[in-house]
């Protein structure tokens, strides 16, 4: 039960980091799917829909992610819905990620010069076709740097799943610290592993920004 | 027992403990406000150092910023609370929370403000020197003020994130709103009610802060500069 | 056109969510149903030595874990262990995620409003733990001290009710957080289970820990959903048997420093 901090512990932490990566990918894929829908709806030519989506984004962005985790983990349980820590985490991160990605992507969609929309209309294309054929390809270019940058936030955000008992890297860290009690070594290693995952993504985002020579977009982050 | 949706909601149980929730909310706001002030100060100092400082300073600031921005806040918090005592620095939960939050915000605001500081034209500073302004005055009026105005939206977005991030300090037993919610939940088990109420409280606090930030802009920046 | 597609997509999501809502119903679970299903799902807590903890190869072990395995052995089905934390025990039952809870589940009348308990299979005192060098004999000596507890646990209830003057109570999310706080000196004392502190390392300054005084005694029962008299009766029979056969006492000696199992009341 009581051990010293050796390379075996480092290995256990690296193993736990698998879950961090899997959770991040799940959050990104699910959150992205919802987010793109919301982003498109946000610029759709129907005022009620735009306001609804704007409200959704504003509301979700005002809830702490930890609160979403707790709400889904404990709250849904009492409706008889089977929710374990993994499902609660995926649901909570999907919701949060969808709102933030929707905002980022909306900005990119709107940054495409409005002349493009007019030109498309004069060619007889409707909203949907214009979006698909003309706007999205250009917006995607612009969206790459902030999206990759936001991935960093998603990875860091998964650490909160520890607080509802999901064993990813942060939780593994506290468990191992209890067994070995070497907080400097344990949390230092945990921080280093996160850094090794996140820093390349940050660098990539910056590199893409320079490569594609797009304007700087501020990414919401903590 | 009850099947799905057969559950009887009892918001009364939660509302009975509303004073505790309010106290938690007050703590959340206090922690966040203090963090915003000191975090911004650090950010200002760092950003000026990064743009105008000598190379060692620039390197130091970059390392600080990169480390904080690429590691989770929760881990930074754990480090301050559980690991610093090993170095002889034992801080209470509240103090640890503030230190971790300030250090965290400092790194992010350093990046944000730096964009604004870089945008200040060289000519403006030279003009200031030519007019005989002292160094501190140049910094205050010709660098800090325009920079803050330029990056105000990004900065206040980050401040809102500080507010939301304060919920994480519940993990080291600081009695802010999320911690109070967890305590009430562990005693009454009325999870859905308690977390719904607290979610609404957070949204209300955030909307209030957003409004305050907008008015600050109107008062400070919109009339001058 | 696009708007119709979007609306359809959202509607589809809503339908799926709705289906998810009604997917699980609180059907009564008898012993036969569990056996027919082919496995029994039991919730445990791995952060509470010596009842639930992780061993050197990161597998769950402890008195609770062994009792859970004994349940499976006697039902002749494999056991699926689900790890929960302290506040997550009742929700895990109510949402049908697990069949029963064996996780230092203290028997209280308030909890019995939401779940049913078997007769006790073990018991523990919540005690106050502090460094050997400190002189704490009773609640009054806690004045001016910072005491850590696990939120909602037995020691939390006891200390909150005692409310000694001048004491600062710090509530942490789980056992490991309290332990880390104690070891790093962030708190002066902690509430915990008896025999839990022998598993604590020496602290940051090399100090060792010991129990100071008991806070509250409680007995642990196996928790199940209310309205399952058949399962409850089987579990009571099961507990009676492992008490009688000496298996329970053997577990106590194995994990609690050779101490015999305490006398367990029945109800």
pLDDT profile of chain C (267 residues), mean per 10? 54 48 50 90 87 82 94 93 84 84 88 90 88 86 90 84 88 86 88 67 70 86 92 94 92 84 85
What's residue C26's pLDDT?
40
Residue C111 domain-assigned (yes or no): yes
Q: What's the 3-state SS for B86-137?
A: HHCCCCCHHHHHHHHHHHHHHHHHHHHHHHHHHCCCHHHHHHHHHCCCCHHH
Convert the pLDDT of each residue in A170-189 to its tens digit.
Answer: 999 988 887 788 889 999 99
Please give the tally of structural domains in chain A.
1
Whether chain A has a CB inside 8 Å of the CB on C183: the answer is yes
User: Domain residue spans in chain B?
Assistant: 17-220
From the number of C-beta atoms within 10 Å of its C-beta (0-12, 13-18, 19+), residue A86 rates as middle
| B223 alpha-carbon distance from chain centroid | 26
Whether chain A has a CB inside 8 Å of the CB on C17: the answer is no
What's residue B186's pLDDT?
81
How far off is chain C from B78, nearest CA to CA, in Å? 10
Q: Which CATH class is domain B17-220?
A: mainly alpha
Q: How many beta-carbon pairs under 8 angstroms link A with B?
A: 147
Residue C59 domain-assigned (yes or no): yes
Residue A220 domain-assigned (yes or no): no
Residue A122 has pLDDT above 50, yes or no: yes
Do C225 and C209 lie in one domain? The reply is no
Q: Chain A 12-51, CB below 8 Å of chain B: which residues?
A: none
Asked whether the beta carbons of B4 and A80 are under 8 A apart, the reply is yes
Whether chain A has a CB inside 8 Å of the CB on B34: the answer is no
User: Using CA atoms, how far apart are residues C207 and C229, in angstroms rounded to an integer?
Assistant: 49
Do C35 and C148 lie in one domain? The reply is no
- How far is the CA of B106 from the CAs of B57, B109, B158, in angstroms? 15, 5, 11
B173 closest CB neighbour out of C94, C171, C185: C171
What's residue C5's pLDDT?
55
- Report chain B's mean pLDDT, rounded to a whole number: 88
Higher pLDDT, C86 or A69: A69
Six token digits for residue A91: 């649901």
- Closest by CA to C74, choosing from C121, C105, C28, C35, is C35
Whether chain A has a CB inside 8 Å of the CB on C186: the answer is no
In DSSP terms, B218 is beta-bridged to none
The label of the residue with tokens 């759709």 reads A44
Please give the tally of structural domains in chain C.
2
How far off is chain A from C17, nearest CA to CA, in Å? 10
Q: What is the mean pLDDT of residues A110-137?
A: 84
Residue A220 has pLDDT above 70, yes or no: no
Whether chain C has a CB inside 8 Å of the CB on A73: the answer is yes
Q: Mutation test of the interface with chain B: which of C156, C157, C184, C190, choosing the one with the most B Cβ atoms within 10 A?
A: C184
Q: Return all residues near A166 (Cβ < 8 A) that are at least 6 apart.
A: A19, A23, A85, A86, A89
Residue A217 domain-assigned (yes or no): no
Residue A202 domain-assigned (yes or no): yes
Tell me if B185 and A78 make a contact (CB, 8 A cut-off): no
Tell me if A177 and C94 make a contact (CB, 8 A cut-off): no
- Closest by CA to A182, choosing from A9, A1, A15, A18, is A9
In DSSP terms, C81 is beta-bridged to C42
Whether chain B has a CB inside 8 Å of the CB on A183: the answer is yes
Residue C20 domain-assigned (yes or no): no
Tell me if C179 and A178 make a contact (CB, 8 A cut-off): yes
pLDDT band at A161 (very low <50, low <70, confident <90, very high): very high
User: Using CA atoms, how far apart are residues A73 and B210, in angstroms rounded to an integer?
Assistant: 29
Domain that holds residue C208: 125-217
Do C228 and C104 lie in one domain? The reply is yes
What's residue C25's pLDDT?
38
Q: Where are the alpha helices (DSSP H) in chain C?
A: 2-23, 31-37, 63-75, 89-94, 154-162, 175-183, 229-244, 247-255
Give the chain C residue nearest B90 (alpha carbons): C186
Q: Chain B 185-224, CB below 8 Å of chain A: which residues?
A: 185, 191-192, 195-196, 198-199, 202-203, 206-207
Convert the pLDDT of each residue in A127-149 to its tens digit.
Answer: 888 888 888 888 888 888 889 98
Residue C262 domain-assigned (yes or no): no
What's residue C19's pLDDT?
40
User: Using CA atoms, how far apart are residues A106 and B175, in angstroms rounded to an integer?
Assistant: 37
- Neighbouring chains of B at 3+ CB pairs within 8 Å? A, C
Tell me if A181 and C201 make a contact (CB, 8 A cut-off): yes
A63 closest CB neighbour out of B76, B157, B199: B199
Q: How big is the CA angle at A171 (ends B27 and C200), to the nearest 5 degrees?
A: 90
CB C208: neighbour CB atoms within 10 A? 13
pLDDT profile of chain B (225 residues), mean per 10? 49 85 95 95 92 91 95 95 89 94 95 86 82 79 84 91 94 93 83 90 95 90 65
Residue A123 domain-assigned (yes or no): yes
Domain that holds residue A109: 7-212
* Backbone dihedral angles phi then psi of residue B116, each to the nearest 5 degrees: -70, -40
Residue count of chain B: 225
Residue A1 domain-assigned (yes or no): no
What's residue A142's pLDDT?
84
What's residue C197's pLDDT?
60
What's residue C20's pLDDT?
39
How far off is chain A from C47, nearest CA to CA, in Å? 8
3-state secondary structure of A124: coil
**Strand blocks (E) in B166-224:** none
User: Using CA atoms, how far apart are residues A66 and A93, in angstroms rounded to an integer?
Assistant: 10
Do C75 and C204 lie in one domain? The reply is no
Give me the CATH number covering residue C170.
Answer: 3.40.190.10
Which residues in chain A are contacts of C9 at CB distance < 8 A?
A: 37
3-state secondary structure of A6: coil
Give me the CATH number covering residue A79.
Answer: 1.10.3720.10
Which residues in chain B are contacts of A222 at CB distance < 8 A?
A: 73, 104, 108, 161-162, 164-165
């Amino acid at each position: 039960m009581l051990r010293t901090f050796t390379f075996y512990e480092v290995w256990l932490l690296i193993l736990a980091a698998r879950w961090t990566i899997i959770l991040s990918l799940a959050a990104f894929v699910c959150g992205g799917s919802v987010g793109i829908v919301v982003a498109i709806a946000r610029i759709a030519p129907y005022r009620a829909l735009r306001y609804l989506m704007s409200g959704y984004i504003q509301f979700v962005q005002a809830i702490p992610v930890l609160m979403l985790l707790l709400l889904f983990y404990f709250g849904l349980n009492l409706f008889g819905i089977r929710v374990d820590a993994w499902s609660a985490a995926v649901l909570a991160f999907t919701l949060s990620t969808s709102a933030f990605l929707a905002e980022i992507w909306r900005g990119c969609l709107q940054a495409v010069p409005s002349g493009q929309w007019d030109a498309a209309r004069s060619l007889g294309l409707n909203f949907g076709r214009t979006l698909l054929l003309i706007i999205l390809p250009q917006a995607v270019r612009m969206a790459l740097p902030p999206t990759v940058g936001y991935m960093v936030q998603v990875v860091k955000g998964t650490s909160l799943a520890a607080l509802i008992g999901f064993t990813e890297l942060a939780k593994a860290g506290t468990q191992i610290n209890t067994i070995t009690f070497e907080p400097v070594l344990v949390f230092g290693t945990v921080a280093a592993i996160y850094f090794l995952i996140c820093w390349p993504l940050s660098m990539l985002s910056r590199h893409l920004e320079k490569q594609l020579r797009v304007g700087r977009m501020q990414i919401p982050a903590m | 027992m009850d099947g799905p949706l057969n559950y009887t909601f009892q918001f009364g149980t939660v509302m009975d403990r509303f004073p505790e929730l309010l106290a938690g909310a007050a703590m959340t706001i206090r922690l966040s406000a203090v963090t915003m002030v000191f975090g911004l100060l650090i950010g200002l100092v760092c950003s000026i150092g990064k743009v105008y400082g000598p190379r060692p300073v620039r390197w130091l600031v970059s390392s600080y910023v990169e480390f904080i921005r690429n590691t989770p806040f929760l881990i930074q918090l754990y480090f301050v609370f559980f690991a610093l005592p090993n170095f002889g620095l034992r801080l209470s939960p509240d103090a640890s929370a503030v230190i971790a939050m300030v250090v965290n915000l400092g790194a992010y605001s350093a990046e944000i403000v730096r964009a604004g500081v870089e945008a200040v034209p060289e000519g403006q500073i030279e003009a200031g020197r030519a007019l005989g302004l002292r160094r501190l005055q140049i910094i205050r009026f010709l660098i800090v003020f325009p920079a803050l105005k330029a990056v105000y939206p990004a900065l206040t977005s980050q401040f809102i994130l500080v507010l939301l991030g304060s919920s994480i300090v519940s993990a080291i037993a600081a009695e802010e709103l999320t911690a109070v919610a967890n305590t009430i939940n562990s005693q009454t088990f009325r999870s859905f009610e308690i977390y719904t109420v607290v979610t609404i409280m957070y949204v209300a606090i955030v909307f209030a802060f957003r409004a305050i930030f907008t008015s600050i802009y109107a008062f400070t920046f919109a009339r001058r500069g | 056109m696009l708007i119709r597609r979007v609306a359809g997509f959202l509607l589809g999501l809503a339908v799926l969510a709705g289906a998810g809502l009604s997917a699980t119903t609180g059907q009564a679970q008898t012993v036969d149903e569990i056996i027919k299903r082919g496995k029994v799902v039991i919730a445990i807590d791995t952060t509470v030595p010596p009842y639930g903890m992780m061993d050197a190869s990161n597998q769950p072990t402890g008195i609770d874990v062994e009792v859970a395995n004994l349940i499976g052995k006697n039902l002749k089905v494999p056991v699926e262990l689900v790890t929960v934390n302290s506040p997550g025990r009742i929700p895990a039952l109510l949402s049908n995620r697990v069949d029963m809870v064996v996780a230092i589940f203290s028997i209280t009348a308030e909890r019995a409003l939401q779940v049913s308990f078997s007769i006790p299979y073990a018991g523990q005192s919540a005690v106050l733990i502090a460094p050997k060098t400190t002189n704490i004999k009773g609640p009054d000596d806690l004045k001016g001290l910072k005491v850590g507890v696990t939120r909602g646990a037995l020691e939390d209830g006891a200390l909150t009710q005692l409310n000694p003057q001048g004491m600062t109570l710090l509530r942490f999310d789980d056992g490991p957080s309290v332990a880390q706080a104690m070891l790093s000196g962030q708190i002066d004392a902690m509430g915990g289970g008896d025999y839990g502190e022998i598993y604590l390392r020496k602290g940051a300054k090399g100090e060792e820990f010991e129990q100071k005084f008991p806070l509250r005694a409680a007995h642990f029962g196996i928790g199940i959903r209310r309205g399952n008299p058949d399962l409850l009766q089987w579990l009571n029979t099961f507990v009676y048997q492992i008490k009688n056969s000496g298996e329970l006492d053997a577990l106590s000696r194995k994990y609690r420093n050779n101490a015999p199992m305490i006398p367990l009341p029945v109800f």
